[in-house]
Amino acid sequence: MAKKDENKIAQFRKDRVKIIETLYADEPSTARRYNRTTSSGGNMPKSAVEVRKLLQDSFSSTDKAVKVSQNLYATNLIYANTIDYLCNMFMWRYKVTPHKLYGKSKAKDKKQIKDDEYLLNYHLMLEVVDGLSIETKFPALLRNIFVNGAVYFTTMINEESYTVDTLLLPNKYCRKIGETQYGTALIQFDFSYFNDIGLSEVQLKEYFKSFPKEFEKCFRKYQKDANLRWQDLDPHVSSGLMLNDYGIPTYLYIYGSILDYEQYQDNELERNENALKYIVVQTMPHYEDKLIFEMDEVKALHQSMKKVIDKGDKARLLTTFGTINVEKLSENDTVENEVLLKAFKAIFNNAGFNSNIFTSDSVTALKYSLIRDRGLV
């Protein structure tokens, strides 16, 4: 056989294989299966194993865990609702109890306060406490603790309006260095923060009005001496609260369960979709192991039939060699799927919650769950 004929036969076989590959391709479903993307973003862990690894690595650096927690709180309703539930569990109320302040001399101690003076001071103190905005500040503090693993703050006294404003400080520029005898945190602030925000001198001067006066004084010291980058804040007006000793957002652990739950949801959705789909098998006739139609004719038959059958996701055409059968990809499943329900409960179990808080209609279950969770907060 001439070499030219051999090349033609080889080329014919290659073309034949390509045609067969196109006959059995299922582009839409294949693309959907392999092009899945998570709703969490490209830099987020993709599995429960990766979440656990991230938390283990957080003992040396919490930055990545905190960033993931912040992104998750912004994008995932289960994670956000779990944290918001703890933050908004209480309706914060307060009471003011007057008590006598003793002076240095016995004469001052025996001095009687007139009723008008007493009422004036009493209402003044009420204004001060009301200015603390306890109802809004406490949930904000808790939210920062659960999302970021820690919260640092300082307070400002406005003598004109008799208010005490609580200012939340950026976690990245704060660190705990010890505790007072009362158990409150001693913290330091990184005054390079005011350089990093990129404000002009005029803008910076205006920005310092939002902080206690000591902040500008400390920043000017840092400008003269770079060794004074970290400086102690007055523990009487500044402190911090941490979710744990390392400042790791431990509720991030439930993200692994959320990923599992989302995967189970995808599997369940695909299973239900397959129950509605059909595959139509068109078998090409043959005689004594020889095709009756040539490959170009088979391709033409396939394309003609495809126009009639393959109009969407509900049916697929498969052309083979010999009868036409119509089969469902999946049968209807009459058994209740408990995997999805168990995966949903596992999210709240890993968070230390009773999942019935969000799904149960049992008054008793809700009552005891609330008692337990109040104790946690």
Q: Of 224, 242, 260, which residue is a domain's last?
A: 242
| Nearby residues of 26 by Cβ (< 8 Å), 6 or more positions away | 316
156 and 72 within one domain: no
- The CA-based angle 160-162-168, given to 5 degrees, is 105
Mean pLDDT (the chain, rounded):
76
* Residue 6 belongs to a domain: no
Which of 225, 242, 259 delimits the end of a domain? Answer: 242
| Whether 270 and 125 share a structural domain | yes
Helix (H, G, I), strand (E, B) or coil at 292: coil
Using alpha carbons, list the distances in angstroms from residue 82 to 5, 50, 91, 147. 73, 21, 17, 11
Range of the domain at 80: 45-97+120-148+251-274+333-377
Asked whether residue 349 is domain-assigned, the answer is yes
pLDDT score, position 32 = 44
What is the rounded CA–CA span in Å between residue 257 and residue 265? 12
What's the pLDDT tens digit per position in 191-209?
A: 999 999 988 999 999 999 8
**Residue scoring higher pLDDT (246 or 360):** 246
Q: What is the pLDDT of residue 15?
A: 73
Q: Indicate whether 136 and 75 sit together in one domain.
A: yes
Contact present, 176 and 187 (Cβ < 8 Å):
yes
Q: Considering the domain boundaries, does residue 104 fall inside one? A: no
The domain tally of the chain equals 2
Establish if 109 belongs to a structural domain: no
Point out the domain boundary residue: 242, 265, 284.
Answer: 242
Q: Compute the distance between CA of residue 294 and CA of residue 301 in angstroms, rounded to an integer.
A: 11
199 and 237 share a domain?
yes
**133 with 163, same domain?**
no
Are 191 and 262 in the same domain?
Answer: no
0.85 cut: is pTM over it? no
Q: What is the pLDDT of residues 271-316, one digit of tens each?
A: 666 665 667 777 777 777 777 777 777 777 777 777 667 666 666 6
| Cα distance between residue 58 and residue 333, in whole Å | 43
pLDDT (0 to 100) of residue 37: 46
Burial of residue 189 (CB within 10 Å: 0-12, 13-18, 19+) is buried
∠ CA 230-232-238, nearest 5°, is 125
CA distances from 167 to 129, 139, 211, 240 (A): 16, 14, 8, 11
